[in-house]
Amino acid sequence: MLFSTLGLCEELLKAIAEQGYARPSAIQVTAIPAVLSGRDVMAAAQTGTGKTAAFVLPVLQGLMNKAPCDSKQVRVLIITPTRELAAQVALSVERYSQYLPVRSCAAFGGIRIDSQIEKLRSKVDVLTATPGRLLDLFDRQALDFTEIEVVVFDEADRMLELGFSKEIQRIHSLLPMVRQTLMFSATFSTAIKTLAKGMLNNPQLIELAGLNKTVDAVKQVIHPVDKSRKSELLIHLLKTHRWPQVLVFSRTKEGADRLVIQLEQAGITSAAIHANRSQHARTLVLDGFRNGTVKVLVATDIASRGIDISQLPCVINVDLPYVAEDYVHRIGRTGRAGAAGIAISLFSDDETKQLVAIERAIGRKFSLERIPGFMPSKKAVLKGEDDEDEYGNFEADAKPRRKGRANARKNHRNR
């Protein structure tokens, strides 16, 4: 199937071709006609399958032949959980609308609000924003919601994980009664489905893959190693395989900064991105990673859904995440749009519970691949799912999971 069969205008087809896409992905084939029909849509698909274009393209098509918005008004509102994702989606809007008379901008924390207020005064059709900055603009009377025709909640599950429930409810109360609502995400939890019941009107439900399933194109490898030697093994892997670019995940901001120092000392160009860095610094780092001047990007989970690098060959988890679903989003940065990718996790024996939780979430068992010279001094033993003596029906996972969500809420405060 070709994009031309989906009812998109010539201006959009030209922009799509210039981005190098020839055929739509499965989520795009299903979602684009649904959005064009005017229906509310609730869509879940594996990460890296083209969800952004699945809503951006039909939303832009709907703006064809519309008069420009008045000052402080927008027709389309796209809400994302993080600054990085807001910037990424806004860039997609800009690229796909280059041949359309559509004006767009992004609004998120970490940079001065004055410039964003000025843009809204100059008439904007599509606004991509994080919940906190969006409400800040509204409270300053810099934005009026009355003319909104379409609202998109992107990565809705992540918004709840980051503690945006109250903000989402308030935004919902401010939206016009008559509108089209789209909810896109990698996963849909029970909490998200409950939330959607009060926000969407008879939505078309699109689920192309099971919840929390990873992209099939990603090869997943687990290397056991002593915790104290993880950075040493990371450097060994980077120098051995010589990947052109690698995204490395650390569980903490301090750990990410330490890894960058160690990588630089080993002669590997790297940079860190996390909530403690200013928005300007984070933007510069991401730009460097996209243009190839930064070979290794070390990130915390704040970046797991906001980075879209074409042909990224490898993701390495130096630490396993506390929340199993975060593993899916981390490794989803590689193997995108059908391309091959590899996800490597460095596993120490204190992470057994996290590993078992990840295996349950993705529905597969990992085999451990030991690296000569990095054999762990203490062999980790993985129990089976029915071994209640070790895991007590996995109730032991509750504490680290809560800690993971607490860390997520802390990141939310740095939005």
Answer yes or no: is pLDDT of 406 > 90.
no
For residue 215, the model assigns a pLDDT of 57
Q: Measured between alpha carbons, how far is residue 406 from residues 15, 19, 110, 298, 402 in Å?
A: 41, 39, 21, 21, 6
Of residues 257, 230, 256, 246, the one with CA closest to residue 347: 230
Answer yes or no: is pLDDT of 202 > 50.
yes
For residue 292, the model assigns a pLDDT of 86
Answer yes or no: is pLDDT of 188 > 90.
no
* Residues counted in the chain: 415
State how far Cα 382 lies from the chain centre: 30
For residue 91, the model assigns a pLDDT of 92
- The one-letter amino acid code at 71 reads S
Contact by Cβ (8 Å): 142, 165: no
Q: Which residue has the higher pLDDT, 392 or 333?
A: 333
The bridge status of strand 204-207 relative to strand 41-44 is parallel
Q: Measured between alpha carbons, how far is residue 220 from residues 187, 308, 366 in Å?
A: 20, 19, 8
- Mean of pLDDT over the chain: 84
Q: For 72-81, 226-235, 358-367, 390-399, which range has the lowest pLDDT when averaged over its residues?
A: 390-399
State how far Cα 190 lies from the chain centre: 19
Hey, what are 2's tokens? 């070709």
For 175, which DSSP code?
S
For residue 213, the model assigns a pLDDT of 52
For residue 324, the model assigns a pLDDT of 79
Answer yes or no: is pLDDT of 225 > 90.
yes
Q: For 26-40, 139-153, 350-364, which range has the lowest pLDDT when averaged over its residues?
A: 350-364
For residue 282, the model assigns a pLDDT of 83
pLDDT confidence bin for 37, thresholds 50/70/90? very high
The arithmetic mean of pLDDT across residues 246-272, rounded, is 94
For residue 405, the model assigns a pLDDT of 47
**267-305: burial string, b at 16+ Cβ within 10 Å, e else:** ebebbbbbbbbebeebbebbeebbeeebbbbbbbbbbbb
For residue 140, the model assigns a pLDDT of 96
| pTM exceeding the 0.75 threshold for the entire prediction | no
Hey, what are 375's tokens? 């054999």
pLDDT tens for residues 287-337? Answer: 888 888 999 999 988 655 566 676 788 999 999 998 877 888 788 778 766
For residue 68, the model assigns a pLDDT of 81
Torsion of CA 332, 208, 412, 353, to 10 degrees: -60
Of residues 348, 340, 231, the one with CA closest to residue 296: 231
The arithmetic mean of pLDDT across residues 199-221, rounded, is 75
pLDDT tens for residues 76-125? Answer: 999 999 888 899 899 999 999 999 999 999 999 988 899 999 999 988 99
Which positions ≥6 away from 207 have C-beta within 8 Å?
43, 44, 45, 188
For residue 2, the model assigns a pLDDT of 86
Contact by Cβ (8 Å): 332, 217: no
The residue written with tokens 């990371």 in the block is: 234
Q: What percent of the chain has pLDDT over 90?
A: 52
